[in-house]
Amino acid sequence: MPLVDAQTPGAIGEAARRIAAGELVAFPTETVYGLGARADVADAVANIFAAKGRPIEHPLIVHVASLEQAAFFADPVGVAARLLMERFWPGPLTVIVPRRPGIAAAAAGGQASIGLRMPSHPVALALLRESATLGVPGIAAPSANRYGRISPTQALHVQQELGDELLVLDGGACPVGIESTIIDCTRDRPALLRPGRVDRLQIERVVGLRLAEPDAASPRAPGTLAAHYAPMARVRLMETDALRAASDPLRREALPQGLAVYLRAALQFPHGTTLRHMPDDAGHAASELFSVLRELDGTGVQFIWVELPPPGAEWEGVRDRLQRAAAA
């Protein structure tokens, strides 16, 4: 099955019929492309784990189109989660809340909690609503990549990751570009499990509390494994000064062959080095991050050196993804 333009008449309807029948469909969200299956049917969810090569105890995020759908999966929804849903949904924020017993156990990887998100991408919302008319209460969808690899931000990336048997709704490039912020709301004080476009300061303002750091008792979030988002090339995060020193004409002999550099600073590297400029704005940098890593990797370079992004809450998501890519 080729990529199907999501605007094609009937495309969303066909995708929703497949979801209702328990099949897999990949679809765009504002963060990254998701690999979706109906969340309430264990056999449908099992197809996701098989296609990704993902361990089955890893919980999936369930996507919903309304607060009523969220309430189908969650009980109780506490005050913090409610405030976050009202402020940031639809949008790139996932809340972990207590799971309603007996519902979507497979999607939750058997955990007593469940991750919920209402995406803002019009194609994702249309698919959720159309599927709801066919009796689907929510769509479980991890990022549509093979386990441990870079998340796809374009339809073509999904096909490269998962093959052309899969129906992929093509909605263009994902504007946010990194996965949703994940907040654990199952404990007294909410904790940030995965940073994203919605940053910790925005969240703290809404819940009126400092976020806790995840600890041993926090729900497991394997997307937070140290080594994740792995390109083939070796990624190295470098301070600006270290990059400047390495680019010094007197020291260039020491540069490795097959090098790509992704940086904000204006530095010259010798001919043969692939250079990409990182945007100064954190949102723009996030939006292109995974496609740049994929593209640089695709040139066959052996090393990707990346300038450490600036400090500050708005860069936390980009820093996090780069640290994981470098740890692989």
Is 55 strand, coil or helix?
Answer: coil
- Secondary structure in 3-state letters for 95-122: EEEEECCCCCCCCCCCCCEEEEECCCCH
Q: x/- binding map, residues 183-222, to ligand TXA, per CB under 6 A?
A: ------------------------------------xxxx
For position 181 contacting Mg ion by CB under 5 A, the verdict is no
Q: Does residue 233 contact residue 304 with C-beta atoms inside 8 Å? A: yes
For position 322 contacting ligand TXA by CB under 6 A, the verdict is no
For position 171 contacting ligand TXA by CB under 6 A, the verdict is no
| Residue 168, phi then psi, degrees to nearest 5 | -115, 115
Task: State the nearest-atom distance from the C-beta of 133 to ligand TXA, in Å.
Answer: 21
The smaller minimum CB distance to ligand TXA, of residues 18 and 99, is found at 99
The smaller minimum CB distance to ligand TXA, of residues 29 and 273, is found at 29
Which of positions 2-31 make contact with ligand TXA (CB under 6 A)? 29, 31
Q: Does residue 228 contact residue 328 with C-beta atoms inside 8 Å? A: yes
- The rounded distance, in Å, linking the Cα atoms of 152 and 28 is 9
Using CB atoms within 10 Å of the CB of residue 138, give its burial: 0 to 12 exposed, 13 to 18 middle, 19+ buried.
Answer: buried
DSSP run (H or E) holding 245: helix 240-247
Q: x/- binding map, residues 111-150, to Mg ion, per CB under 5 A?
A: --------------------------------x-------
The smaller minimum CB distance to ligand TXA, of residues 309 and 317, is found at 317
1's tokens? 């099955």
Of ligand TXA, Mg ion, none, which one sits near residue 273, judging by CB under 5 to 8 A according to partner kind? none
Of ligand TXA, Mg ion, none, which one sits near residue 131, judging by CB under 5 to 8 A according to partner kind? none
Q: Does residue 25 contact residue 127 with C-beta atoms inside 8 Å? A: yes
- The rounded distance, in Å, linking the Cα atoms of 248 and 213 is 40
Cis-peptide, bond into residue 90, ω within 30° of zero: yes
| Residue 50, phi then psi, degrees to nearest 5 | -65, -45
Which one of 59-67, 127-135, 237-245, 248-256 is the stretch in contact with ligand TXA (CB under 6 A)? 59-67
Which of positions 108-137 make contact with ligand TXA (CB under 6 A)? 108, 111, 113-115, 117
Report DSSP state, residue 219.
Answer: P
Of Mg ion, ligand TXA, none, which one sits near residue 154, judging by CB under 5 to 8 A according to partner kind? none
The only residue of 26, 40, 44, 59 in contact with ligand TXA, by rule CB under 6 A: 59
Q: Does residue 303 contact residue 258 with C-beta atoms inside 8 Å? A: yes
Task: State the nearest-atom distance from the C-beta of 27 to ligand TXA, in Å.
Answer: 8
Task: State the nearest-atom distance from the C-beta of 2 to ligand TXA, in Å.
Answer: 21
Report DSSP state, residue 186.
Answer: S
Interface contacts to Mg ion, rule CB under 5 A:
143
List of residues contacting ligand TXA (CB under 6 A): 29, 31-32, 34, 58-61, 94, 96, 108, 111, 113-115, 117, 141-143, 179-180, 182, 219-224
